[in-house]
Amino acid sequence: MRPHVIAWPVVPRARPGERLKAWRNRLAPRLPADARVFQILFLASLLLLGVLARDFTLRPEQMALTFMAALATQALFMRALGLRHRGVLSAVVTAFGLSILLRADSLWVHPLAAALAIAAKFVVRVDGKHLYNPANLGVIAATTLLPGAWISPGQWGNDLAFAALFVALGGAVTARARRVDIAWVFLGAWLGLVALRVVLLGQPSAVWAHQLGSGALMLFAFFMISDPMTIPNATHGRILYAILVACIAYVWAYVAFRPNALPWALFIATPLVPWIDKLWPGPVHAWRPDLQGRAAAPG
């Protein structure tokens, strides 16, 4: 008598990539739809890390006044223009950006810069988009117009570990906002120009490695230049824009030998964005997917 054999169904094993995709699809409905939530978490972690590990010369009163001024200015313009309660997250992002980048001897520089940065979102607009990155505009205006203010790009040092942290966190945020391409193109263009200079001048490779490990460079690439509301809408336009910013920064730093090349390059290149959008039209970014394709509201 032949033994009875039970044939168990064969279930094919999922590949690692398929399992990762399944987990991502299962987790996606539980994640916030607005990518600014991730941006705030990213910036808050950087600020906390800087205060604890880098001994930032930032007073708690300055940070508190920065947030109060940003939120108050946002609320004032929304009320004056009869808008719905939107843009609060953007005001928080701007306040974090100014707290990380801007330093001052007095208490009134930070709130003034925050108020100017938020006001510019409502006043300086082209084709339904605010023109300047608010944090970039606030930093440039404060250091140019207000006494006792300066940019603090070197506070992160040149530790490769910090640079890797910026890439990991910043890459996640920009990917969520679907604008990660501009960050990588800018990094490639900037590091390529610096590498060419190192070769032409016969400098040691450590000079290039110094740039690669720059936390300030990674912060600029994954937070400031990748702001989806102030960069070109189309992919081709973002690629061109990233290369232009890198070239302007290179001339500023290594031809004119002036400091703070990255924020100044972005400030100088920003007025070109409307022209690039006309050359390569694309959909205006919306922080929430359900608003994609509509005209961007102020704030």
| pLDDT tens digits for range 147-167 | 999 987 656 555 555 555 665
| Element of type H or E holding 102 | strand 102-104
| pLDDT tens digits for range 284-294 | 766 555 544 44
Average pLDDT over residues 46-62: 73
82 — pLDDT class (breaks 50, 70, 90): confident
- What counts of helices (H) and strands (E) characterise the chain? 13, 4
Q: Greater confidence, 45 or 132?
A: 132
The 10 Å CB-count burial string (b at 16+, else e) for 249-264 is bbebbeeeeeebbbbb
Average pLDDT over residues 191-220: 84
Average pLDDT over residues 103-114: 94
Cβ neighbourhood burial of 99 (10 Å; 0-12, 13-18, 19+)? buried
Res 20: pLDDT: 44
Angle 217-227-273 from CA coordinates, rounded to 5°: 105
Average pLDDT over residues 186-201: 93
pLDDT at 102 over 70: yes
136 — pLDDT class (breaks 50, 70, 90): very high
DSSP class per residue in 77-95: HHHHHT--S--HHHHHHHH
Res 225: pLDDT: 86
Residues 124, 274: Cα–Cα separation, whole Å: 12
Average pLDDT over residues 40-68: 78
207 — pLDDT class (breaks 50, 70, 90): confident
Cβ neighbourhood burial of 217 (10 Å; 0-12, 13-18, 19+)? buried
Query: For strand 125-126 and strand 129-130, is the pairing parallel, antiparallel, or unpaired?
Result: antiparallel
Res 27: pLDDT: 41
φ, ψ dihedrals at 104, nearest 5°: -155, 155
Answer for the pair 91, 41: CB distance below 8 angstroms, yes or no: no
> Where in the chain are the domains?
57-151, 158-279
> Taking the complete model, does pTM exceed 0.85, yes or no?
no
Res 127: pLDDT: 81
Average pLDDT over residues 34-47: 73
| pLDDT tens digits for range 218-233 | 778 877 887 888 899 8
210 — pLDDT class (breaks 50, 70, 90): confident
User: Residue type for 158, please?
Assistant: N
Q: What is the mean pLDDT of the chain?
A: 79
